[in-house]
Structure 1
Amino acid sequence: MKQLFNQIFRIKKYLISLALPLLMVILGSCVLSAPALATGVYQIPDLTTKDPQWVIDQGEVISRINEGKISSTFEDLAKQTGNEVRFVTIRRLDYGETPESFSQALFEKWFATPEAQSHQTLLVLDTVTNGIAIVTGDESKSLLTDSIAESVADETIGVPLRDGNKYNQAFLDASDRLAAVLAGEADPGPPEVVETVQVEGTFTKAEETDQGNATAWVVGLLIAATVIPMATYYIYQINQPSPDEQQEKSS
């Protein structure tokens, strides 16, 4: 019977020694999961001549079919006019970054000189806040004026997003409008807005994002408050002597 107790005790210590690292890994992943989702400019791949990549959907909000349609539209535009447009979606910005600062930095990373930037247009969307920024080169800006670019961001894309986060519709409409404007055609304008009574908005605000980050940290601290005492207890249990050792000390 004593041998059985000793064997059970050794198995218990072994299982506890395996559980402790696992608990610490789970705790670390819970606390660090939110910051890990942030995207920096350095994480966006460079453009290549073989694969121009008209759409980079890291936010995973555009279907493959619609991504193909948008890419085809922009490829045709580039061949016919020399003006190029790219869409980039990301999940979350780095701390202190804005859609405007991110898009400007990415624009300069991809197109280092004024000559390279001249016929380029870049649209960036952060899917957490639905913040949008558009950067254009000098030649493209003569067609895609600031007022049109603002309308594309606030209305062509903004309206479908406020109406239930309809990303595919938003980007399809934006690609058609940008292609028309940059081809020298008349601006088709934003989509017609149908007035509806909205009980609760679906547009994610920056305040809600901050609250979500705070919630993630609170959850992480609560988990830590639970796991750390457990880990301490496990360590205490591991260091306890076996029944044989206890008997030897008592004798």
Structure 2
Amino acid sequence: MIQQLKTRLNWGNLLPGFMISLFLTVIVGFWTTPALATGVYQVPALSSPSDTWVVEMDDVLSRSTEGRLNNTLSDLAKKTGYEVRFLTVHRLDYGETIDSFAEQVFKKWFPTPETAANQTLLVLDTINNNSAIKTGEKTQSLLTNEIAESVAQDTLKYPLRKGDKYNEAFIAASDRIATVLSGEPDPGAPIEEDNINVDSTFKSAEETNDTSATIIVVVLLIVATVVPMATYYYFQGNRS
């Protein structure tokens, strides 16, 4: 009977520490959960296609850049009938590629050959800067597959390779696409310069965020371990 009472007391004394540990473990798990992936079903429909040119699911563009892109693409559509959309996402569903994702979004937004004929869709996955471009049949008479791929892989990515310059990247892609679809000669991809890379002694913003997150997780894990032990010894000391 005495032994059973001691056991119950031990469990009663340890319960607060256990609850705190459980709570902190849940917090740690939530904190370290990666950003949710994006599937095609999460991409919003074009409720007003004539006014929707840039869809950002990962806010990497400034308001001024979005305004400039909207003006350029809106003017292009009014003058030529060719419509261009830009889409940014942060992470794709497991097993999804940027090409398959872009293809599905293109079909979701433009489900028939007639609605897709004069369309262009440029998609960027910002977690690894993979990009893909899809074009309609009519658009390909000017924006050929070769030029389109060069826009997605060269024009768009050149500023990104210089340091994730998303605003510069999309403006460059928009300007080149608008030039070609306006019937003017293709200005071509940017000429990449071979610069000597000097290792920076400063951490990037992403590295700083990762370091901060790691420190927080370590601290929470330490607290989750120490609090139950401290609680246990505290009650043990009081009992004695």
TM norm structure 2: 0.75
Distance 1:234 1:142 in 2: 73
Distance 2:109 2:227 in 1: 48
Counterpart of 2:25?
24
Distance 2:173 2:135 in 1: 15
Kindly provide the CA deviation profile for residues 167-220 of structure 1, in whole angstroms up to 9, marking residues without a partner as x: 11111011011011112221121223222122569xxxxxxxxxxxxxxxx99x
- For these two proteins, the number of residue pairs brought into alignment is 216
1:27·1:223 contact (CA, 8 Å) conserved in 2?
no
What SS does the corresponding residue of 2:156 show, helix, strand or coil?
A: helix
Distance 2:185 2:91 in 1: 35
2:14·2:228 contact (CA, 8 Å) conserved in 1?
no
1:117·1:138 contact (CA, 8 Å) conserved in 2?
yes
1:157·1:173 contact (CA, 8 Å) conserved in 2?
yes
Alignment-mate amino acid for residue 108 of structure 2: K
Match runs of 1:166-205 below 5 Å: 166-199=165-198
Counterpart of 2:131?
132
Two-structure CA RMSD over aligned residues (Å): 3.4
Deviation for aligned residue 1:50: 6.8
Kindly provide the CA deviation profile for residues 217-242 of structure 1, in whole angstroms up to 9, marking residues without a partner as x: x99x98998688669769989xx89x
Counterpart of 1:43?
42
Q: Once the two structures are aligned, what percentage of the paired residues are identical? A: 46
Deviation for aligned residue 1:30: 3.2
Distance 1:95 1:234 in 2: 42
Deviation for aligned residue 1:48: 1.6
Match runs of 1:87-126 below 5 Å: 87-126=86-125
What SS does the corresponding residue of 1:94 show, helix, strand or coil?
A: coil
2:118·2:135 contact (CA, 8 Å) conserved in 1?
yes
Distance 1:55 1:225 in 2: 41
Distance 1:152 1:88 in 2: 15
1:27·1:227 contact (CA, 8 Å) conserved in 2?
no
Kindly provide the CA deviation profile for residues 46-101 of structure 1, in whole angstroms up to 9, marking residues without a partner as x: 00227632111222221110111001101111111111101111111111111101
Counterpart of 1:210?
none
2:53·2:84 contact (CA, 8 Å) conserved in 1?
yes
Deviation for aligned residue 1:25: 2.5
Distance 2:117 2:129 in 1: 27
Counterpart of 1:162?
161
What SS does the corresponding residue of 2:51 show, helix, strand or coil?
A: coil
Q: Which range is displaced more, 188-197 or 172-181?
A: 188-197
2:28·2:221 contact (CA, 8 Å) conserved in 1?
no
What SS does the corresponding residue of 1:56 show, helix, strand or coil?
A: strand
Distance 1:61 1:50 in 2: 22
1:55·1:71 contact (CA, 8 Å) conserved in 2?
yes
Counterpart of 1:205?
none
Alignment-mate amino acid for residue 31 of structure 2: C
What SS does the corresponding residue of 1:138 show, helix, strand or coil?
A: coil
* Structure 1: gaps of 5 or more residues: 1-11, 202-217
